Amino acid sequence: MRQPDTRGRGPVRYGPPAPEPGLPVLPELAAVLAAAAGRTEPEPPGGGVVLRDAAAGYWWRRGLRCHPEDLAAAPGAQPLLSALMAAHGGDILMPRPCPAWWTPQARLLGRPAYHVPTPAECGGVPDPFALLETVRRVRAEGGHPAVLLLSVADDPTATVAPPEVVREACEAAVAEGLHIISDETWRDTLHDPHDTVLVSPAEMCPDDVTVLCDLAGSLTPAGWPAAIARFPHTGRGPARRARTLDRLTALGAQVAAPVAAAAAHALGEPEPVTTRAAATAALHARVAAAAHHAVLTAGALALPPRAGRHLYADLGPLRGRLAERGVTDSMELEAYLTDRLGVPAPGGHRFGDELGALRVRLPTWPLLGATPEERTESLTAAEPLESPHVAEALDRFGSAFHELGEPR
């Protein structure tokens, strides 16, 4: 029988390859957290009513009807995804590439994980025909595919899947009896929200999709772990939510009370929170576009970044130049670029890509500044690319790629 995909050589990472030193905490959120610091009662597993009510409002404003009893919260996306997958039997399917922490969650549960190629125009969502082929092959070999993970606003590729691609992939998955877990962590980080259409799979297949959102993606600091999940309120949704809560209870995975208070405030989307989120997305859009131009100028390939805080580059066209420098796979590429950029540049093997493919995820946060003060200056500048520290960082970034186009 064909073995499930176990690529991902190098040290196994159960979270993001590198923590992002984000922008300073909003004073309003810090005040809410401080005011709740004296709370002695813990949040119940799955989150208290106040947090879940705020999450319900968050999704209603995005066209996804739900109520507090349809939701669950956890201290971060990793334990929540683990609990969600544990609530389903069978094997896990996910796109290639996919977030670095997805595959390890399946391994920790002892579940086979199969990676499915994505279409040429985007990442995050499997190619529908490749998905059908993979499901049928796995079943023919004795497997039991049951869950499809996908992300419409994708990490690592920073793309947003077109609605027609999402619809075709979801219809194929549902036709084969798969339940869909849609990671929508980055949905509020669109670089051009007026010209980019993001449609949740839950809008297309409401009875067959559970939505996952890590609030650290756009609303809260990374050091305040909180994530939420929205279950279908029909069919087996309530039973799966109950099993998810059982798992969270067994893990002791409860959101800290002060963090829950701050998360509920952020989910209410008061003006300071929405203004910061929009400004942060616009800033990352500017620097990502500049980094994308530098990568293309060097002769590498990359889809235009549309969301999030990364860029996914394919250096395959530079394979000969890289071989002259002793770089022949993504592990060596990771080490090479990490050394030259001065920040972690995880190779594609960490995201389920083939080891021999010369792909790498490039973060945009190092281009914003080295200190909280510089990053705040970047956020508030009318022309952030003209800030000295941003211009210098982009120059270093461009030089690292420009030298790859030159013979050694």
User: Any idea what DSSP says for residue 33?
Assistant: H
Q: Among all chains, which residue has been given the structure tokens 């810090």?
A: 30
What pLDDT sits at residue 22? 72
What does 245-310 look like in DSSP terms, one character per residue? HHHHHHHT----HHHHHHHHHHHT--HHHHHHHHHHHHHHHHHHHHHHHHHHHTT-EEPPP-BSSE
Strand order in the sheet with 71-74: 71-74, 227-230, 209-214, 179-183, 145-150, 91-96, 113-117
* Dihedral sign for Cα atoms in the order 266, 272, 278, 280: negative
Task: Provide, rounded to the nearest whole percent, the portion of the chain with pLDDT above 90.
Answer: 88
Strand ranges inside 70-160, DSSP E: 71-74, 91-96, 113-117, 145-150
> Which of 18-22, 46-50, 168-172 is predicted least confidently?
18-22
Specify the amino acid at residue 41: E
What pLDDT sits at residue 279? 95
Instruction: Report the C-alpha gap between 218 and 197 in whole angstroms.
Output: 18
Specify the amino acid at residue 107: R
Per-residue pLDDT of 343-384, as tens digits, reads 899 999 999 999 999 999 999 999 999 998 999 999 999 999
Confidence of residue 19 (pLDDT cuts 50, 70, 90): low
Per-residue pLDDT of 299-309, as tens digits, reads 999 999 999 99
At a CB cut-off of 8 Å and minimum separation 6, what does 394 contact? Answer: 287, 290, 291, 294, 367, 385
> Which of 19-23, 109-113, 125-129, 233-237 is predicted least confidently?
19-23
Instruction: Report the C-alpha gap between 86 and 90 in whole angstroms.
Output: 9
Q: Is the pTM of this model over 0.75?
A: yes
What are the residues facing 180 on neighbouring strands? 148, 209
Pairing of strands 91-96, 113-117: parallel
> What is the average per-residue pLDDT within 76-105?
95
What pLDDT sits at residue 89? 86
| Other CB atoms within 10 A of residue 2 CB | 12
What pLDDT sits at residue 174? 97
> Reduced to 3 states, what is the DSSP secondary structure of residue 71?
strand
Q: Spell out the alpha helix ranges (H) of 342-383.
A: 372-380
Distance of CA 174 to the CA centre of its chain: 23
Inform me whether the pLDDT recorded for 5 exceeds 50: no
> What is the average per-residue pLDDT within 231-239?
92
Specify the amino acid at residue 53: D
Helix (H) or strand (E) run with residue 60 in it: helix 49-60
> Which of 16-30, 72-86, 262-276 is predicted least confidently?
16-30
What are the residues facing 119 on neighbouring strands? none
Contact call for residues 67 and 233 (beta carbons, < 8 A): yes
Inform me whether the pLDDT recorded for 408 exceeds 90: no
